[in-house]
């Protein structure tokens, strides 16, 4: 039986390997991690991440050909293909801090692979890494002096959270980059054979290593750029009386532009868009391409602008101060159908409002109170580094935060209501009931365009919705 091991049991490692195990009963898949609680959760009834459809797949395969373990070295040494799907956050200190990818976790995984391997292996970059990382990894692996040879492949992951299982089941494409040598090509074919169990051949693209590494950063940069572009338009819509949804629909009808990913919002979040663009910016700067770096930097700057514009709108609408006013925040996750809060725009919006001494009452169907409090007391870029596992000193402003069990509790006696995640349940709320229990005038600030502006205005709310006529 072919054995696969994946280092890193996170949002990518867990779902990706579960799908491989489901589709390839002839392959044994071990997902390993240094985090004991994370592995324990993968082996329990309550998985460590919420992802529609994931539970069913894990339950079908676990203990059959899918295993979760902290015995990293054992499973790595037994595997023929080792995926590395560890986190690659933005560096917080040293050279390139605030931009460059921190490859500490990747490097320690590579050193461990070199140390424990007794047979030849294919090592697959699943994490998103700077272009040319494979070269550095090759150098680390070649220090194995037991006559073992390694082939490095780049196989970036394109899944989006909330739709991960669908994305993995029917991917737009699977990308595999390898060395253009006979051994490199053989390794590419071996990985291709794994995906060919369920992905049509014409959707499995093979390229050289550097194209595959760079394509991942490029894809995220293009996607994020689209959001910043429509968000830039949303500001202009508000100033001119145009409606951003109508503009998005009209331009999306052009098949060269396409209709997807044009929803104006309070800003994009998630663990990757900002980090990967900053990483791209850093790579451009290192290659002396300053104008190109500045071009991509704008995508992140417009995103920051959009988040602060939202906060300013809330404060200025509520008579230039929110001090002591209760503001309900509906949604904290960075998008619907996930409990993930990494880089969620809600953090910046809440911190902005707390800066003006608002009293926040936050509700999210999937995010725990502990997570919300942790997120609001963390420094930017710190969230994906191990010091977060240490207890935090909660700042004074976090005492201004209450976490509610539902939208009705959150909005009771509130002066304003901010919608920050597009959860379906926020479309179906009884806004009449909410209006009755709020202070008057009652404000709605919809950062996701989920509420029906006309209906809400009819009820009596003062409504601000991103990119809609005021
Ligand atoms: P994650 O933080 O959820 O998971 C990473 C895991 O790696 C953690 O559980 C951590 O404990 C483990 N780890 C770190 N160092 C280790 C080591 N030396 N040995 C064993 N385990 C180790 O991260 P994620 O969201 O799964 O992302 C992983 C990579 O995939 C990142 O590079 C990210 O950019 C990329 N990516 C993420 C997504 C996404 O939707 N989250 C999508 C595509 C690509
Ligand atoms: C994104 C990409 O879509 C994936 O292809 C990629 O693999 C992944 O990043 C990654 O590398 O981590 P993800 O961040 O999970 O996936 O979710 P998206 O659906 O892309 O949403 C990202 C953010 O953009 C969310 O905050 C979302 O609300 C926002 N968004 C998305 C908008 O504001 N408007 C849109 O039209 C679409």
The predicted-structure confidence for 307-342, as pLDDT tens digits, reads as follows 999 999 999 999 999 999 999 999 999 999 999 999
* Of 5, 6, 7, 8, best ligand 1 pocket probe by most atoms within 8 Å of the beta carbon: 8
Tell me what pLDDT residue 397 has.
66
Q: Tell me if 347 CB under 6 Å of ligand 2.
A: no
What angle separates helix 54-61 from helix 13-23, to the nearest 10 degrees?
A: 60
Tell me what pLDDT residue 391 has.
43
Tell me what pLDDT residue 439 has.
98
Tell me what pLDDT residue 382 has.
59
Q: How would residue 381 be classed by pLDDT, with cut points 50, 70 and 90?
A: low
Alpha helices, H only, 241-382: 244-252, 273-286, 290-317, 345-355, 369-376
Which residue's C-alpha comes closest to atom 5 of ligand 2? 158
* Calpha distance 317→322 (Å, rounded): 9
* Calpha distance 189→191 (Å, rounded): 5
Which residue's C-alpha comes closest to atom 23 of ligand 2? 268
Q: Tell me if 194 CB under 6 Å of ligand 1.
A: no
Tell me what pLDDT residue 398 has.
67
Tell me what pLDDT residue 449 has.
96
- Does 221 have pLDDT greater than 90? yes
Q: Strand 150-154 to strand 121-125: parallel, antiparallel, or no bridges (unpaired)?
A: parallel
Tell me what pLDDT residue 146 has.
80
Token pair for 60: 């079908």
Tell me what pLDDT residue 18 has.
98
Tell me what pLDDT residue 399 has.
81
- For range 92-121, the mean pLDDT: 93
Give per-residue pLDDT as tens, 24-59: 999 999 999 999 999 999 999 999 999 999 999 999
Q: How would residue 422 be classed by pLDDT, with cut points 50, 70 and 90?
A: very high
Q: Tell me if 227 CB under 6 Å of ligand 2.
A: yes
218 burial class (0-12, 13-18, 19+ CB within 10 angstroms)?
middle
Biggest CA pair distance of the chain: 75
Q: Tell me if 157 CB under 6 Å of ligand 2.
A: yes
ipTM value:
0.98
Give per-residue pLDDT as tens, 436-462: 999 999 999 999 999 999 999 999 999
From the list 164, 247, 312, the residue with the least C-alpha distance to 449 is: 247
CA–centroid distance, residue 33 to ligand 1 (Å): 10
* Calpha distance 126→106 (Å, rounded): 10
CA–centroid distance, residue 270 to ligand 2 (Å): 7
User: Tokens 């009884």 appear where?
Assistant: 430
- Does 392 have pLDDT greater than 60? no
Determine how many CB atoms are found less than 10 A away from the CB of residue 392.
Answer: 14
Which residue's C-alpha comes closest to atom 43 of ligand 1? 157
CA–centroid distance, residue 261 to ligand 2 (Å): 8
**β-bridge mates for residue 446, sequence order:** 419, 465
Instruction: Please list, in sequence order, all residues whose beta carbon lies within 8 angstroms of the beta carbon of residue 404, skipping any fewer than 6 positions away.
Output: 328, 361, 362, 363, 410
CA–centroid distance, residue 158 to ligand 1 (Å): 13
CA–centroid distance, residue 127 to ligand 1 (Å): 7
Q: Which is catalytic among the residues 5, 237, 272, 418?
A: 272
Q: Tell me if 31 CB under 6 Å of ligand 1.
A: no
Q: How would residue 1 be classed by pLDDT, with cut points 50, 70 and 90?
A: confident
- For range 230-257, the mean pLDDT: 97
User: Would you say 397 and 354 are in contact if contact means Cβ atoms under 8 Å apart?
Assistant: yes
Dihedral angle computed from the Cα positions of residues 287, 288, 290 and 292, in that order, rounded to the nearest 10 degrees: -40
- For range 235-252, the mean pLDDT: 97
User: Would you say 86 and 76 are in contact if contact means Cβ atoms under 8 Å apart?
Assistant: no
Which residue's C-alpha comes closest to atom 8 of ligand 2? 160
CA 419 and chain centroid, separation: 19
- Does 390 have pLDDT greater than 70? no
Give per-residue pLDDT as tens, 164-215: 999 999 999 999 999 999 999 999 999 999 999 999 999 999 999 999 999 9
* Cα-only R_g, the chain: 23
Compute CA distances 139 → 77, 152, 261, whole Å: 19, 11, 39
Tell me what pLDDT residue 294 has.
98
Residue 126: nearest ligand to its CA?
Answer: 1
CA–centroid distance, residue 442 to ligand 2 (Å): 31
Q: Tell me if 335 CB under 6 Å of ligand 2.
A: yes
pLDDT over 70, % of the chain:
96
Given the CA of residue 340, which atom of ligand 2 is nearest to it? 15
pLDDT over 90, % of the chain:
92
**β-bridge mates for residue 327, sequence order:** 360, 416
Given the CA of residue 270, which atom of ligand 2 is nearest to it? 14
Residue 275: nearest ligand to its CA?
Answer: 1
Task: Determine whether 272 is an active site residue.
Answer: yes
- Does 427 have pLDDT greater than 90? yes
- For range 111-134, the mean pLDDT: 95
Tell me what pLDDT residue 324 has.
96
Given the CA of residue 231, which atom of ligand 2 is nearest to it? 33
Tell me what pLDDT residue 387 has.
46
Give one DSSP letter per residue of 155-175, joined into a string. Answer: ------TTSHHHHHHS-S-EE
Which residue's C-alpha comes closest to atom 34 of ligand 1? 128
* Calpha distance 129→141 (Å, rounded): 17
* Of 76, 83, 86, 344, best ligand 1 pocket probe by most atoms within 8 Å of the beta carbon: 86
Alpha helices, H only, 264-344: 273-286, 290-317
Q: Tell me if 89 CB under 6 Å of ligand 2.
A: no
CA–centroid distance, residue 256 to ligand 1 (Å): 34
* Calpha distance 78→121 (Å, rounded): 10
Tell me what pLDDT residue 389 has.
42
Tell me what pLDDT residue 2 has.
85
Which residue's C-alpha comes closest to atom 12 of ligand 2? 272
Q: Tell me if 51 CB under 6 Å of ligand 1.
A: no
Q: Tell me if 125 CB under 6 Å of ligand 1.
A: no
Token pair for 431: 């806004």
Give per-residue pLDDT as tens, 134-144: 999 999 998 87
Q: How would residue 383 be classed by pLDDT, with cut points 50, 70 and 90?
A: low
Give per-residue pLDDT as tens, 85-101: 999 999 988 999 999 99
């Amino acid at each position: 039986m072919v054995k696969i091991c994946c280092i890193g049991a996170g949002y990518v490692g867990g779902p990706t390997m579960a799908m491989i195990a489901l589709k390839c009963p002839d392959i044994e898949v071990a997902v390993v991690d240094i985090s004991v609680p994370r592995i324990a959760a993968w082996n329990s009834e309550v998985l460590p991440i919420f992802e529609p459809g994931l539970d069913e797949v894990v339950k079908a395969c676990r203990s059959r050909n899918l295993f979760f373990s902290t015995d990293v070295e054992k499973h790595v040494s037994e595997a023929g293909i080792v995926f590395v799907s560890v986190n690659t956050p933005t560096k917080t200190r040293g050279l390139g801090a605030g931009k460059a990818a921190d490859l500490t976790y990747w490097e320690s995984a590579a050193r461990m692979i070199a140390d424990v391997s007794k047979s030849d292996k294919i090592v697959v970059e699943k994490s998103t890494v700077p272009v040319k990382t494979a070269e550095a990894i090759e150098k680390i692996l070649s220090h194995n002096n037991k006559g073992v040879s390694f082939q490095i492949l780049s196989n970036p992951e394109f899944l989006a959270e909330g739709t991960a299982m669908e994305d993995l089941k029917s991917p737009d494409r699977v990308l595999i980059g390898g060395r253009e040598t006979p051994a490199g090509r053989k390794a590419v074919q071996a990985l291709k054979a794994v995906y060919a169990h369920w992905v049509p051949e014409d959707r499995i693209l093979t390229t050289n290593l550097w194209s595959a590494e760079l394509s991942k950063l490029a894809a995220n940069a293009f996607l994020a750029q689209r959001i910043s572009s429509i968000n830039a338009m949303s500001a202009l819509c508000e100033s001119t009386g145009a409606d951003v949804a109508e503009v998005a629909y009209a331009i999306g009808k052009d098949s060269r532009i396409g209709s997807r990913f044009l929803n104006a919002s309070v800003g994009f979040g998630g663990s990757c868009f900002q980090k990967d663009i900053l990483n791209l910016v850093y790579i451009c700067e290192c290659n002396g391409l300053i104008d190109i770096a500045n071009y991509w930097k704008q995508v992140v700057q417009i995103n920051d602008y959009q988040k602060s514009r939202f906060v300013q709108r809330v404060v200025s609408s509520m008579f230039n101060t929110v001090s002591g006013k209760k503001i309900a925040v509906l949604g904290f996750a960075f998008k619907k159908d996930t409990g993930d809060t990494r880089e969620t725009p809600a953090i910046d919006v809440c911190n902005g409002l707390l800066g003006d001494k608002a009293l926040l009452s936050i509700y999210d169907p999937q995010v725990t109170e502990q997570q919300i409090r942790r997120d609001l007391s963390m420094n930017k870029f710190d969230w994906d580094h191990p010091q977060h596992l240490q207890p935090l000193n909660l700042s004074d402003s976090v005492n201004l935060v209450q976490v509610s069990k539902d939208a009705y509790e959150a909005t009771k006696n509130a002066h304003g209501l901010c919608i920050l995640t597009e959860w379906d349940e926020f479309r179906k709320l009884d806004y009449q009931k909410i209006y009755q229990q709020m202070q008057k005038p009652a404000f709605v600030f919809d950062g996701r365009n989920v509420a029906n502006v006309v209906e809400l205005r009819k009820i009596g709310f003062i409504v601000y919705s991103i990119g809609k006529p005021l």
